[in-house]
Each structure stands twice: as C-alpha cells, then as structure tokens.
Structure 1
Amino acid sequence: MTSDYTATLPRKRMGAGVVLSDASGRVLLVEPTYKPYWEIPGGAVEAGESPHAAAAREVREELGLTLRPGRLLVTDWVPPRPDRTEGLMLLFDGGTLTPQEAERIRVPAEELRGWAWCDEHEADERLSGPLARRMSAAVRARSTRTSLYLENGFPTG
C-alpha cells in the first residue's frame, strides 16, 4: 500500500473570523472570558471544515446570528511561539449589520463577556497588536475591494 506524500507534510493551525460593521463603519469586537484582550468574532477551523464554513459557524455560536460571510479580506500567517504553533488566520467580510440585526446578538456567557462596536482607535486599544493590525488591514481591504496577505499582521510588499 502506497501512502500519500502529503500526509507527511507539516500541518498548520487555522483560524477564521468575520469583520462585521455598523452603518457608521465601526467594527464589532467580542470580549472573551478566557483572555485579557478582545477578539474578532471567529475561531479555530475544525478538521475537515472549510475556513468559510468555520467563519459562519463561529458567528452563529458567538453572536447567535446566521449569515453567509462574503469575500476573503485578509490572510495572515502567524509565526510560531513557544506556546503556540504557526498558523494561518483568515478574515472574511461580514458586511454591515442593521440595528435590528445587532439587537438579535446573543453571546454565550461561558465564553464571552459581551460585544461592542469600536472605531479604529478603540479597536487598536482592545485588540492585541497582531490582531489590531489584521483588523486594520481587513478594513482597508474592504474599502479598496482588495484582498491582503500579511505576516504577523504586517504587509509583506
């Protein structure tokens, strides 16, 4: 029996998130119960799951909203750290939520303390450095109708 060479290649962890905005252009952030900084709605891509499907699932689980994420805004390669493997983080466009949609948001109390609309300055203060850079790049990519590749939140070109 011949084994597939690709089965021997290194595996990367992968995360997928969704950039949601309000009519004023503020982005939606969530406050986890298990870490000191805020996050973008999203999470780990499970085995056999596409990043797009993971982004939709995470929004459903974290916010109680059913939506189909739009186009890919950012791909960010995150280098390994002593406590974490390298990974690929993808951010999809979630569009603009209406006030009525925002009123339907329900967060799981065991995972999230809450959520907030944040302007760029507030997002920079609440997110970790790499995540703030990733979010800023995603907002730029959305406004210019492009897609960006980053490494640890920084453009490579």
Structure 2
Amino acid sequence: MNQLLEAKSSGYDVCSIPIKTIYENNNKGSHFRPILDSIRIYLPIIKFSLSSVSCGIMDLIVFFLLNWLTGNLIVSVIGARIISSVSNYLMNKNLVFKAKNYLQSKTLVKYYGLAALIIISNYFLLEFFTNTSNLSLFTSKIFTEGILFIFSFYTQRHYIF
C-alpha cells in the first residue's frame, strides 16, 4: 500500500491488471499468516483513521473551548482548525504515510489548500445549520464535521497523499 501511495504522489499512474491465480500443491508452501498479515495490510488505514479521529476530537474540544472563551464563531472555527490541522498533517506525514522530506512542500501546499477550503465550508455550514435549521451548535458541528470528513478523506486519498 505504501508503494502505491508513493507511486501516486510521485506522479505515476496506477492501475489494476487481472492475473490468473495458480496454486501449486494446494498452496501448501504458503507462508501467509491470516491475522498478522492482515494487520500489516490494514495498519496504514487504521493509522489514518486514528489520526483523523484523534484530531477530530481535538478540534471539537478546542472549538467549544474557544467558543466558550470568546463567544465568536469564526474565531472558534479557525482556531480549532489551525491546531487540529497542524497535528493531523504531522501525524499523517510522519506516522501514517511516512512521507519523505522531498514530498513535504508538495503535500504541505495541497494539504493546507484543502484545510482552507474546509475552514470556509465549516463556517458556512455551521451558519446554515444553526440559523436556518434551528439545530443546536453541538448537533450542527457534528453534522458539519461528518460531511467534511468524507470530503477530506476523498480529497487526501486522491489528490494529496
């Protein structure tokens, strides 16, 4: 998986090619360990999810803390997003994808372009949900983050990393 991600970020096209599977001797020579090998395969996905969830929780806590301290929605959204996005970028770069330094400037610009778009979308979606739908700020925040999580995952997967 890491090779595929590295190939994609280096500009290579990635495609699948069907192959015929042939088992010799009913696959008695296989060294596949279902549990350990499955963990190794899914570990990057698990790490990405944990990174996203932990930074999402951080964003939620900082958002409500800043909103309580300032009473200002835009300050709360931007402040929470700055803190959580720096943490998320560093976790994804160093722990999840283990990106090389030569990729840093390329991924950093794309990542923060996405972060800027998400900040703007976050503010306007929160304004929309709280003012037109009469949802509580908590419900609006959870709903907004769910929408933006899906958008962010798709964008990071296909365009950033």
Larger helix fraction of residues: 2
Larger strand fraction of residues: 1
Which has the higher Rg, Structure 1 or Structure 2? Answer: 2
TM-score with structure 1 length normalisation? 0.31
TM-score with structure 2 length normalisation? 0.30
Relative contact order (C-alpha < 8 Å, sep 6+): which is higher? 1
